[in-house]
Amino acid sequence: MASDKGLTFAHVKAVTEKIRNRAGVVNFPGGDARVVNTMVLPVNNFVVAERREVILQDSEPSDEQGMLHLYPIEDNRYCLELHYLQYADGPADNDVVYVIRYLPTFFLQFSDKDLAANRPFRFDQTTEQQFTVCSRSRSLLQQLDGDKTGTAITRSLEATEVVVHLLRRALECITVPFAACQVPACRFLAFEGERDKITAAMRIIEANIDQPQTIRELSRKVAMNECYLKKGFKAITGKTIHEYQQSLRIAQARILLQEQGRTVTDVANTLGYSSISHFSTAFKKVTGMKPCELLA
C-alpha cells in the first residue's frame, strides 16, 4: 500500500458513521462510498471483525487515519468500534474499510475504574476519536485479514491477540489522564441530530457571552428537552451549562482587564454581571484571584 495515501478527518467520519448502510451507497463530503463486498473475519464471541470493500468517488487521499466510536449501552457498559480505511494499491483494486466491533461483554473483564482512566470512556457518552494508523497497526490488519493455519481455537487465539493489540494501540494514541466524572449514560446522543442540538446550544452561549442563557431559554432555542439538554451538555463538554458560560465570560474578562486595561466596573457591566461583587466572586472562583489583583 502506498504510504502517501490516506484520508481526511471529514472522509473518515463520514465513511465510518455511514458505512453501516449495507444496502449500497454511502454519502460523504466530496463523494460517495459504495460497499461492494463484505467479509466476516472470525475472532471470538466478544469481538466481531469485518473487511468491507468500498468504492470511493471524488475523494482526495491524505494521511492515513482511523476512527474510534464508543457507544454507551447503559451505565458503565459500552460497545466500541475501530474503523480503518485503507486505500487500494492500484486503480484496479477497491479501497477497504476494516471494522472491529468490541461487544459489551468484552469490557466486563475490566473494572469500571480502569475503564474510566481512559479518555474514550470518560463521561459515558457517545464518542468519536480520530487516531493515527501506524505501520504496526497496518501490519496487524494484514495479519487479521490473512490466511491462518492450525485448529479453530488457535486461529481464534491469534485473531484475539491481533484485535486486543489494535485496541491498545488506538487507546495509546488518544488516551489522556484525567479525573473521572460520572454522568448518567446519554443514549440519545447516539443520534447525530441530538448531538447537533448540544453543539447549537454551545454556539448560542458563545455568541452571547454578555447575555447569560437560562436552561429554559436554551432548551427552547434548540428544541430539546431541558433534562436531555443538561445531561447531554455535561456529557459532551464535561461542564454544566453554567460552568461553560462562566468559563467563557471569565476568559473574556481576563482579556478585557489584562490586554485592554478596562476597569473592573466596565468589565462587569460589559459582560452582563448584575454587580461588581457578583463579578468579583465569579472571577475569583475560576481564577483564584480578584479582578483588581490582575490589574495590579
**Helix, strand, or coil (residue 36):** strand
Q: Is the pLDDT of residue 153 over 90?
A: yes
Q: Name every residue whose Cβ is closer than 8 Å to that of residue 199 and which is 6 or more positions away in sequence.
A: 236
Pinpoint the alpha helices (H) of the chain.
9-18, 112-116, 135-145, 152-174, 192-207, 215-222, 226-237, 241-254, 264-270, 276-287, 291-295
Residue percentage of the chain with pLDDT more than 90: 18
Closest CA to 15 of 72, 71, 49, 53: 53
Which set of grid coordinates corresponds to residue 243? Answer: 460552568
Q: Cβ atoms within 10 A of the Cβ of 7, count?
A: 28
Instruction: Please report the pLDDT score of residue 136 as a whole number.
Output: 80
Angle in degrees, 0-180, between the axes of helices 152-174 and 135-145, rounded to the nearest 10: 160
Tell me: the pLDDT tens digits for 207-258? 888 888 889 999 999 999 888 898 888 888 888 898 888 888 888 888 888 7
Q: Is the pLDDT of residue 6 over 60?
A: no
Tell me: the pLDDT tens digits for 22-72? 334 333 333 456 778 889 999 999 999 999 888 766 555 444 567 888 887
Q: Is the pLDDT of residue 144 over 90?
A: yes
CA separation for the pair 68, 73 (Å, rounded): 16
According to CATH, the topology of domain 187-295 is: Arc Repressor Mutant, subunit A (1.10.10)
Between 211 and 177, the higher pLDDT residue: 211
Closest CA to 281 of 255, 249, 233: 249
Lowest mean pLDDT among 96-105, 121-130, 195-204, 225-234: 121-130
Query: Could you tell me where in the chain the CATH 1.10.10.60 domains are found?
Result: 187-295
Between 178 and 43, the higher pLDDT residue: 43
- Name the band, by pLDDT with cuts 50, 70 and 90, for residue 175: low
Q: Is the pLDDT of residue 93 over 90?
A: no
Instruction: Please report the pLDDT score of residue 296 as a whole number.
Output: 56
Lowest mean pLDDT among 155-169, 222-236, 282-296: 282-296
Instruction: Please report the pLDDT score of residue 293 as a whole number.
Output: 76
Q: Is the pLDDT of residue 5 over 70?
A: no
Per-chain mean pLDDT for the chain:
77
Q: Name every residue whose Cβ is closer than 8 Å to that of residue 25 and which is 6 or more positions away in sequence.
A: 32, 33, 34
